[in-house]
């Protein structure tokens, strides 16, 4: 056991525990805050595995943006302080699917690697990742960019009724025949 192993195990435990709290707590907003802890612990895992850039991307995008948007949306709609007893969770199917997927992944990895040791790859510096994305994987990268752009445009069209396509209910007056 090296220090890195201990750190990995500890961070994994934190991520797992906080993740469990996300789905079991009865406080809606606190669930979001536990999600911050989970994602932060995962970023810590990346750091221990020397994927430095990925770790900070995780913090910037997931902690700084995604969770904030999530909390923002919850607070705009209904965010009571204290436990809400009327949360409808799909308890058993959810637990089954979650545990099943988890057990399946564990089995898959155990079967694939057994106890073989894999050395750490070269550190995920900005230069290495930049080179990989813009040299080797430039086509998939561009494809994803176009997909995201399409999603953006789609979101704007959907959210603005005045430019959306489809059958108009014609609240607009006809310019010629008055």
Which positions lie near other proteins, rule CB under 8 A? Answer: 27, 29-30, 33, 36, 52-53, 56-57, 59-60, 63-65, 67-69, 71-72, 75-76, 79, 81-82, 125-126
The rounded distance, in Å, linking the Cα atoms of 123 and 54 is 10
Shortest reach from residue 57's CB to other proteins, in Å? 7
Closer residue to other proteins, CB minimum distance, 94 or 121: 121
The token duo for 28 is 């809606």
Shortest reach from residue 25's CB to other proteins, in Å? 12
Closer residue to other proteins, CB minimum distance, 77 or 171: 77
Cβ of 40: how many Cβ atoms within 10 Å? 19
C-alpha Rg value of the chain to the nearest Å: 23
- SS3 of 169, please? coil
Closer residue to other proteins, CB minimum distance, 125 or 145: 125
Residue 166 DSSP class: S
Shortest reach from residue 60's CB to other proteins, in Å? 4
Closer residue to other proteins, CB minimum distance, 102 or 123: 123
Closer residue to other proteins, CB minimum distance, 42 or 71: 71
Shortest reach from residue 117's CB to other proteins, in Å? 26
- SS3 of 117, please? coil
Shortest reach from residue 109's CB to other proteins, in Å? 29
**Which residue pairs, CB below 8 angstroms and at least 24 apart, start in 99-106?**
none
The rounded distance, in Å, linking the Cα atoms of 159 and 164 is 8
């Amino acid at each position: 056991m090296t220090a890195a192993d201990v750190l990995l195990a500890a961070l994994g435990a934190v991520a797992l525990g906080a993740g469990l709290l996300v789905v079991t707590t009865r406080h809606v907003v606190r669930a979001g805050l536990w999600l911050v802890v989970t994602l932060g612990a995962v970023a810590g895992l990346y750091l221990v595995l020397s994927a430095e850039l990925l770790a900070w991307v995780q913090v910037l995008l997931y902690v700084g943006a995604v969770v904030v948007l999530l909390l923002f949306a919850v607070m705009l709609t209904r965010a009571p302080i204290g436990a809400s007893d009327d949360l409808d969770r799909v308890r058993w199917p959810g637990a089954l699917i979650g545990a099943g997927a988890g057990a399946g992944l564990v089995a898959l990895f155990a079967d694939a690697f057994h106890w073989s040791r894999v050395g750490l790859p070269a550190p995920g510096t900005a230069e290495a990742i930049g080179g990989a994305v813009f040299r080797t994987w430039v086509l998939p990268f561009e494809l994803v960019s176009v997909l995201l752009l399409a999603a953006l445009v789609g979101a704007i069209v959907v959210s603005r009724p005045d430019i959306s396509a489809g059958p108009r209910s014609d609240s607009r007056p006809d310019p010629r025949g008055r």
